[in-house]
Structure 1
């Protein structure tokens, strides 16, 4: 029923409910970062805030104090996003491993590609599966795995006397932040399910 749309630079931000335009903003990102309120035709209030930073970005959409399902801050959406990320990383590692084994490239083997990449991809895929199922431990374990991977990359760079691999470390930091956020979201979902179950048992 609720639809949010926008153009380049968050211009022409439009809120539509049941096919009817509620309001359109032209302030762009600057206005959304301050937070905006919309009074919906059903009498409810919609709060939209553009979150941006090093490890978080997206729209926080809240209606009458409740997170709107499907929005960026929806715990279910955060868990699903982390699972998709893990599936992508698993596929990437698997592809690199196959290429390294078929091409028999010394460069790829020196970079750690090959059978190790296949095994790493398998582990990440399994963690992605359990993350999608809403298990809190899976994204936490995946996050710890990528922290260890980042430390290995850093130690290898120092040992080889090369420059600090800033970009690879930043990428891993984003991955870890996404995974730990998903772990927290999974815990919130589980707590919500327990509260709903407890409420349904009350006379």
Structure 2
């Protein structure tokens, strides 16, 4: 169950793009809530369709048992009962989702290291922008190298577990920071947008 937490990661990247967002005080909270709402809705609908749409008489057991019996491949096996190319469609969706997650992770990692370079928490070269494209190219290249090395050094399950633990620490830090800032700022911060 702990590894499923990774399916809800990603919305925090919106806050990491704060320097590049118009009216961040208003738009960041809205974007986070809207993105979470969309993701949760899609996941719930997906689960209802795949579990509720399988005919127990056709598969010889309850749908949840059928899907659970295949582990990570349960949704792919269930998709075969819906469409002739159902498994291929689910795999293609997973591939596109993985590419989107990779893009978002690279974006977030490069923006965080860029901000740290700009604030001298990392060497200043991380805070440099490309002259033509105005993107943090050193941070992007270094982040990509680290990701490639990690991806080639560990299996996917180990990377997912490590990422989940790191995200839990990140979220804990963010929550502690929010509570601390709220106590320090008192009425200066509005809690809604």
Query: What's the TM-score, normalizing by structure 1?
Result: 0.34
Q: Which has the higher helix share?
A: 2
Q: Which has the higher strand share?
A: 1
Query: What's the TM-score, normalizing by structure 2?
Result: 0.36
Higher relative contact order (CA 8 A, sep 6+): 2
